[in-house]
Amino acid sequence: MSKGYTAIQIGESTIKMVQVSDGKAVKTVLEATPDNLVRDGHILSFEALAEILKSMARDNQMRNRNAVVVLPLENCYLRRTSMPYMTVDQLKLNLPYEFRDYIHADREDYFYDYAVVGQETDEAGEMKSLDLLIAAVKNELIEKYMKILTFAGFKLKIALPDACAFRNIIRQYEENNEEHPAAYCIVDLGHSSIRVHLYNGSVYETTRVIEYGGVTLDSLIAEEMDVDVHIASSYKVKNYNQVQELEACKEIYDKMIVELFRSINFYNYNNPDSELKDIYFCGGLAKITPFMDMVRSALEVRCHTIGELMEEAEQDDTLELICAAIGATLQ
């Protein structure tokens, strides 16, 4: 398979299209997501999205047609489980039953996949059980992506959850560095929410969602400055008239930090052997200096940017925004 891909991630505030070769972004295109195209991670109009992707690819000469799509966790199920050792065919047959508490539709309506992340043997050295990361996504969703990508001139090669894209970044970092953390927390400071992804080594554990995000600040700034929310968003990004330092914004920063602290403590409480000491930040709010300064002062862990895990990537101004897209191409 070619080492070059075009990675696509559809966010509620930004559509990202990144041409990646050997883990490096060679061309990046970011466009604002039109209003009412995406809500709570779900695409409301695939027809409109198809036209946008086609225009982005054409206008920016995105020549690599092998597409990788990053799926938000709202679009799929992702969980850890342990199963008795069995063959590949037996695993494929039994995977749907591992989602019986989550999926109540017909098993044929979903596509299932897995990765072996650990194994247990008995005293004789015979395989006893498998530790798995398993995923499920609606066939209908994959078919829609295939259709719109074909319309835009692409061929869908890979679709995976964002948490797995970050896992790929960690895995590559550990392959290139003998000395590395034993556990990782990647905090995606997104538009509609903050996602706290937790990993034991490069093995995904869980995700906690905090219901604050960039849109929270946009609404607050819009009210404080008496402007439209879109203008408020540009004020936030550019720090126009030091809006990032408004007392009202600092109050929101405090609330975000409290929820971050709770998420980390809850994980450590449930995993008393965890050696989590490092947090890596990405997403739009990672560029808000007053917020990040408060985070570093408040949290009792080492705080990093996601770029510190991405030695192969070009360290440009958009890396915090496109890191998941790059990570998805490492699958």
pLDDT, average across residues 130-150: 95
| 92-131: pLDDT as tens digits | 899 999 998 888 888 889 999 999 988 888 887 788 899 9
Residues 117 and 23 in one domain: no
CA angle 157, 197, 98 (to 5 degrees): 65
Distance between CA atoms of residues 195 and 82, nearest Å:
25
Task: Give SS3 for 25.
Answer: strand
Distance between CA atoms of residues 221 and 243, nearest Å:
7
pLDDT, average across residues 317-329: 93
The total number of structural domains that make up the chain: 3
pLDDT, average across residues 144-151: 96
Share of the chain above pLDDT 90, in %: 81
Q: Which of 88, 120, 138 is the last residue of a domain?
A: 138
pLDDT, average across residues 54-61: 95
According to the model, what pLDDT value does residue 315 have? 66
Query: Whole-number mean pLDDT of the chain?
Result: 92
Distance between CA atoms of residues 23 and 90, nearest Å:
34
Q: Is residue 147 part of a domain?
A: yes
| 251-300: pLDDT as tens digits | 999 999 999 999 999 999 998 888 899 999 999 999 999 999 999 999 98
According to the model, what pLDDT value does residue 1 have? 38
Cβ pair 174, 202 in contact under 8 A: yes
Residues 242 and 284 in one domain: yes
Question: What is each CA distance from 61 to 17, 185, 317, in whole angstroms?
Answer: 11, 36, 21
Residue among 271, 67, 244 nearest 182 (CA)? 271
According to the model, what pLDDT value does residue 23 have? 80
- Other beta carbons within 10 angstroms of residue 247's beta carbon come to 7
Sign for the CA dihedral angle at 304, 309, 314, 320 comes to: negative
Residue 47: both structure tokens together: 């027809």
| 163-219: pLDDT as tens digits | 999 999 999 999 999 999 999 999 999 999 999 999 999 999 999 999 999 999 999
Residues 159 and 225 in one domain: no
- The sheet carrying 127-138 orders its strands as 76-84, 127-138, 110-121
Distance between CA atoms of residues 12 and 142, nearest Å:
19
Which residues have a Cβ under 8 Å from the Cβ of 160 and sit 6 or more positions away?
A: 68, 69, 70, 71, 135, 328, 331
Residues 227 and 304 in one domain: yes
Residues 15 and 156 in one domain: yes
What CATH number is attached to the domain comprising 97? 3.30.1490.300
Q: Is residue 40 part of a domain?
A: yes
Residues 272 and 319 in one domain: yes
Range of the domain at 67: 4-73+140-164
Residues 63 and 82 in one domain: no
Beta bridge partners of residue 5, listed in sequence order: 20
Residues 126 and 90 in one domain: yes
Flag whether pLDDT at 314 surpasses 80. Answer: no
What CATH number is attached to the domain comprising 66? 3.30.420.40
Residues 191 and 322 in one domain: yes
According to the model, what pLDDT value does residue 2 have? 47
